[in-house]
Structure 1
Amino acid sequence: MPLNVTKTPEGNLLTYDADGLPVIYNLGDMAWVATATVIVGIMPIGLGLLYSGLLRRRNALSMIFLALTVYSVGLLHWFMLGYSLTYGPGNAFIGDSTWFGLVGVDIKPSPGSTAIPALLYEIYQAQFQAITVVILVAGTAERGRLAPLLILAFAWSTLVYNPVAHWVWSSSGWLYNLGDLDYAGGGPVHIASGVGSFVISAFVGKRRGYGTPQLDYRPHSSFFIALGTAFLWFGWCCFNGASNSALNLKSIMNINNTLYAGAAGCLGWTAVDFAFTRKWSAVGAASGILAGLIGITPAVGYVAVPAAFGIGLLTAIACNLATGLKRLMHVDDAVDAGALHAAGGIVGAILTGIFADSRVADFDGLTEIDGGWINGYWRVMGLQLAGVTSIVFYTAVMTYVLLFLINLIPGCKFRSTEEAEIVGIDEEQLGEFAYDYLELRRDIKSHKLYSNSPTLSATNERGRPADARTATSASHESKEGVEGRVSQVREA
């Protein structure tokens, strides 16, 4: 049956809902959300570049591969199950099967906003789920096998992200009806992915030699980190900016808050770094931007610009200090997902309870809230803490259960072999490299596999060839030569 869609004299779309009442979609709103959806699609590769830069060079390509494939799994899951489990009528805990496979999702008003049709709303929301699982799987960086992570991404989306997002954003969700304030994903996106990634890091264990002086676990590319952060900041403006599903004063306020919070976070993190080390850090600046963006995400549609600046600044300082928790808890969180996403989401949720402003929330003429502490609504902090506590506890338990069960499946062990960690996940899992064999060879030198090599005897203390001739001869060593020395590592 053809869709009943016409145009108004102003050129907007006119259709009718299930009760026969007219529904008008503004083409400007639709164009804005559609454009934002496409721009948000740059964020997964931004995450891939960021995480790749944080790792050693022989594992750089595997993280970009994961960003692309897990993002794809997240999108396909949303099409098959996720949209319906998140926004289907269901109950207070989870949706139902009404829209499995996007059946019946078309020109009708969306369950989350009547400003745009369901078909546009669902693909915009699909980006949220897909990005969340990319953050999640980074917990196995440099020591995880890739195939089990694809299974985990699908299962985790079903049993963790969809229920949590339903609690927070669905009109039948229990946190939504309780009055929890989360505008753009502090809980479902950041707290859930950060806690889940931290649990994964604990489950798979530390990287080989982590914490010992023999191995150097430092970021291999500050350029990748800065470039990935730039992509994320750009995409985040649309991630937050289009969360009200319309182009109006509220969306402009969201973009303002996003940019200023990121800038404040950059300054806050670098200031703490400088206070402790007396040095500036490009990696620290990027981390601060991300912390500020994470902190403002739950608050973005509820707070004024001065509050957004304060939230970005305070969240970045808190996240910087939170990076020490992984050492206290003896967890090798290679990309600091726990310190950034989990801690940042928690701090952002709490600060939302303080700075939420009922006047700002109503900039779209539709959103009515009691506000936060600045409006004298003291009860809101209890609601925010209820949301944080329930999401942290549920995510931690369910993530561990999924890891335990998937790890029992033959061929689905999450931890890679010792040889794979030495040679690198890129070679062992992909058979491809981000860099040439000379770079790989220098990296593996840290395992003392080349102690008898006359070539390496001519290298300086940093592992760099002493002259161009040495570099040339080293670069011609074959793949078999590298692999042949791997077996020596257990005795090294």
Structure 2
Amino acid sequence: MSAPTPPEFNESKPNGGNSLEEDVNAQYAGLEFHYVYLMVCAFLVWLIIPGIGFLYSGLARRRSSLSLLFQSFAVAGVVCFQWMFWGYSLAYSRTANAFIGDLANFGLKNVVAAPSPGSVLLPEIVFCLYQMLFCVCTVVLVSGGSFERGRILPSLIFSFCWATIVYCPIACWTWNANGWLYNLPSLDFAGGGPVHIASGWSALAYAFVLGKRVHKGEKLHGKPHNTTLVFIGTVFIWFGWFGFNGGSALNASVRSMMAAFNTNTAASFGVLGWVLVDYIRSRGKFSLVGACSGAIAGLVGITPAAGFVSVWIAALIGFLTGAICSSCKNVDQWLRIDEGMDVFKLHGIGGMVGSFLTGVFAQKWVSALDGASIYEGALDGVGVQVGRQLAEICAIASYSFTVTCILLYAFKFIPFMHLRVTEEAEMIGLDLDQFMDEQIGDWSILEQHSLQGVSHPSSPQTSSEGVGEKSA
């Protein structure tokens, strides 16, 4: 029995047809499993958003943990609006140039039932939702660069602007059929460049522009206040990443299944790579937060390579990325930039490592598992692919860091858009400064009394800084 013929995009029906006059589902008859699978993957990707919130909240000091949970959802709201307004069109319009899309799909015009620009097997509305969640995850990662000292309102407005002038152009370069990196071609299966390199370098820029945190009378943030939240956040992220990588083939082929297997493999070996370096460095001690960081590093490293490599190479990529990121323990001190959430270490450095190794290890037999794509790396004799990957790394890193710095410095000249809280607000914590008191609870009130030197009969004897551990 022959497979159903995929539909073709019809310029006379850019929205896929008039649902009042025809059955727009008929064109996908026999292909429903592809877009149902992608919808399930989209639901999994959504879990990464609260996962990042939990992770960041657990890593921060208690008095600023609520602000990071809030930002994960608030950013999701802002970016959803941005994507519907013009973000999707700027990234994926069919009439885009090599650098950025036009406004052909402004306000999601005609984004309904037509075959999507990413895959003719998907209605465009499914593709749009899936890619929107990628953008949300990326912007939430960037917000980690402002933790414990960034004002929330300017951060949300910055999120809209950053998604527009940084993420959307880079997504267009990488994944739009007209993009210059797409046609180079650089190999980026699920977002090593647009998601990880861009977010890592942009978070570094955010931390650089804000400056170092104030820490009068106390040690600068060195330990997470709640390792349980860190663990739970990592679980959400790991689980959500099955959809992040597994769905990026944009079909339900064997290649998608390989990408999902590679995702788990790289995360597992990332744990081993990070923990091994930690164990050697600490002379026989383990770290739960280190294991969580290793899992995320492995996930980041395999993201660009998931649909291009075999399972044992995925294991190697995960292990190397975990070990390299763990070895960069003092990168903040080397750069003299206070980026305490390790976004640059895990996503910036991890993304660059993964993108480079994709050029080395990409195998054509793996990419051909979906019956359509054939891409090769140095392992298959195409050594020039390493150079193409380096071009992608340099272009995305330099663009995201430079444009993010310019954007943030511009905010300083806009009334009421100053990026940083006052020194007093930073010392008492963002939760008390930026949120209604009744939402915070007694614990943060007690901590405020402690910071101001006020004793309280029911206050705990241990400080929030003594709970948990800090990854390398």
TM exceeding 0.5: yes
Correspondence list, 1:250-269, <5 A: 250-269=255-274
Q: Pick one of 369, 372, 393 that aligns with 1:366.
A: 372
Stretch of structure 1 that moved more, 145-154 or 104-113: 104-113
The whole-number CA distance in structure 2 between the counterparts of 1:37 and 1:62 is: 26
Q: Pick one of 42, 46, 55 that aligns with 2:47.
A: 42
> Which residue number corresponds to residue 19 of structure 2?
none
Q: Which has the larger radius of gyration?
A: 1
Q: Does residue 303 of structure 2 align to residue 297 of structure 1?
A: yes
3-state SS of paired residue (1:441): helix
Q: Does residue 128 of structure 2 align to residue 125 of structure 1?
A: no
288 and 109 in structure 1: CA distance in 2 versus 1, 3 angstrom threshold: same
3-state SS of paired residue (2:396): helix
Instruction: Report the alpha carbon displacement of residue 323 of structure 1 after superposing the two structures with TM.
Output: 3.1
> Which residue number corresponds to residue 329 of structure 1?
335
Stretch of structure 1 that moved more, 219-228 or 86-95: 86-95
The whole-number CA distance in structure 2 between the counterparts of 1:454 and 1:386 is: 58
Correspondence list, 1:53-72, <5 A: 53-72=58-77
Letter matched to residue 18 of structure 1: E
29 and 379 in structure 1: CA distance in 2 versus 1, 3 angstrom threshold: same
Letter matched to residue 293 of structure 2: S
Conservation of the 8 A alpha-carbon contact between 2:53 and 2:68: yes
3-state SS of paired residue (2:225): coil
The whole-number CA distance in structure 2 between the counterparts of 1:79 and 1:454 is: 50
> Which residue number corresponds to residue 481 of structure 1?
none
Instruction: Report the alpha carbon displacement of residue 87 of structure 1 after superposing the two structures with TM.
Output: 1.0
> Which residue number corresponds to residue 116 of structure 1?
122
Letter matched to residue 377 of structure 2: G
> Which residue number corresponds to residue 207 of structure 1?
213
> Which residue number corresponds to residue 320 of structure 1?
326
3-state SS of paired residue (2:112): coil
Cα displacement string for residues 346-369 of structure 1 (whole angstroms, at most 9, x for unaligned residues): 000001011100110000001122
Q: Does residue 170 of structure 2 align to residue 187 of structure 1?
A: no
> Which residue number corresponds to residue 226 of structure 1?
231
> Which residue number corresponds to residue 428 of structure 2?
423
Conservation of the 8 A alpha-carbon contact between 1:93 and 1:173: yes
Letter matched to residue 450 of structure 1: G
Instruction: Report the alpha carbon displacement of residue 433 of structure 1 after superposing the two structures with TM.
Output: 7.0
Stretch of structure 1 that moved more, 13-22 or 59-68: 13-22
> Which residue number corresponds to residue 413 of structure 1?
418
Letter matched to residue 277 of structure 2: V
Conservation of the 8 A alpha-carbon contact between 2:58 and 2:226: yes
Cα displacement string for residues 217-266 of structure 1 (whole angstroms, at most 9, x for unaligned residues): 42000000000000000000011101111112111101100000000001
Question: How high is the sequence identity, in percent, across the aligned residues?
Answer: 38
Conservation of the 8 A alpha-carbon contact between 2:317 and 2:354: yes
Q: Does residue 371 of structure 2 align to residue 378 of structure 1?
A: no
Gaps in structure 2 of 5+ consecutive residues: 17-25, 465-472
Correspondence list, 1:87-486, <5 A: 87-88=92-93, 89-209=95-215, 214=219, 217-277=222-282, 278-369=284-375, 371-432=376-437, 436-438=441-443, 440-442=445-447, 445=450, 447=451, 449-450=452-453, 453=455, 455=457, 462-463=462-463
The whole-number CA distance in structure 2 between the counterparts of 1:234 and 1:217 is: 27
Letter matched to residue 249 of structure 1: V
Cα displacement string for residues 27-57 of structure 1 (whole angstroms, at most 9, x for unaligned residues): 1111111111122111110000000000011
Conservation of the 8 A alpha-carbon contact between 1:427 and 1:433: no
Stretch of structure 1 that moved more, 185-194 or 16-25: 16-25
Cα displacement string for residues 287-322 of structure 1 (whole angstroms, at most 9, x for unaligned residues): 000000000000001000000000000001111122
TM-score by length of 1: 0.87
3-state SS of paired residue (1:408): coil
3-state SS of paired residue (2:412): helix
Q: Does residue 1 of structure 2 align to residue 17 of structure 1?
A: no
Instruction: Report the alpha carbon displacement of residue 454 of structure 1 after superposing the two structures with TM.
Output: 8.0
Give the paired residue count: 449
Conservation of the 8 A alpha-carbon contact between 2:298 and 2:321: yes
Instruction: Report the alpha carbon displacement of residue 435 of structure 1 after superposing the two structures with TM.
Output: 5.8
Conservation of the 8 A alpha-carbon contact between 2:55 and 2:234: yes
TM-score by length of 2: 0.90
Conservation of the 8 A alpha-carbon contact between 1:17 and 1:23: no
Cα displacement string for residues 443-481 of structure 1 (whole angstroms, at most 9, x for unaligned residues): 763x4x327x4859x975x459xxxxxxxxxxxxxxxxx
The whole-number CA distance in structure 1 between the counterparts of 2:276 and 2:189 is: 29
